[in-house]
Structure 1
Amino acid sequence: MAIISKYNNQQTNDDLVNEKIRFKEVLVIDQNGDQLGVMSRNQALHTASNANLDLVCVAPKAATPVCRIMDYGKYRFEQQKKQKEMKKNSKVVSLKETQLSPTIDVHDKNVKLKRTIKMLEAGDKVKVAVRFRGRQLAHIDIGQKILEDFVAECADYCIVEKPAKMEGRTLIAILAPKKK
């Protein structure tokens, strides 16, 4: 007697359900959570079909693979619901960038400072970069001073996740928003 699952077209590749289970013996748990003991695969499939439910392998890597008798459609629905809930509750933090130069004027710096503070208040991380061009590389200390001042003015809204470091022709620091 072959048991054909009505869920075959919806399965993901890693789901072991009914006929896809290829172990000789499995530990069977019924729909109420009671252990029925170690059975042959065919006997477990027969038990599941008598209950009009599916045999789902929940722990294939155990010494004796564990299979559970349950409604597979309901199980998949619950798993998808959990994944959606986890996705909804997770906050995606994006990395925004603010570019400065060693010759930046006070007003321009204040405009970029306000914009950076808005990004931090929105919960985004900010990468502050000071780009050096040509002969400006001879005066990295000026760029470091500008970056230190910029970070000091943002100190109420952020913590320094990665301190200032030269990467090529750019001095970079990463700021993360403070927890509220």
Structure 2
Amino acid sequence: MSTQPKLSEQEIIALLLKRDEKGFNYLYDNYAGAIYGIITKVVHLKEYADEIIQDVFVKIWKNIGQFDAEKGRLYTWMINLARNTAIDYIRSRGYQNEQKNQTIPEFVNDSEQYATVTNVDHIGMKNVLSQLKGEWRELIELAYFKGYTQQEIAERLDIPIGTIKTRTRNALIELKRLLKDYR
């Protein structure tokens, strides 16, 4: 059990802005599991997720000055950064070429090797998401946990893109309200 004192979001941000490693270490110790979980929802393979999480924390360290508390919470900013980094990674030419070079038996026979166990719910996100309407929850899960674009969601659900955009916006507004109540 950690004896590390609990830091507020403002204290963490202040430490990171001062380039204090204490802030970075606290951030990693307390948020790496959740961020890793988001990454593995998009990437699925542990070896890639391990590489991406390093990239994400480097981006957080280098780009903390771009964080705007007026637009949202630090956790939300980090999760979006992780999700976008993972999506960029799987869309990269190198990743796509590597996937083409994989033989099918590797994935079929060794599926246990590639399995990842993720527990991102220690922050209670499933509980918060369960309060959303079913159609909104599905959109959030597809977009933020599975890495689908709005166009891909529209095609998958056979719903017009405009409807997807409207529902996603409404879902995010409601999620924001729920998260404010959750604090």
TM-score (norm. length: structure 2): 0.21
- Rg (Cα) greater in structure: 1
Higher relative contact order (CA 8 A, sep 6+): 2
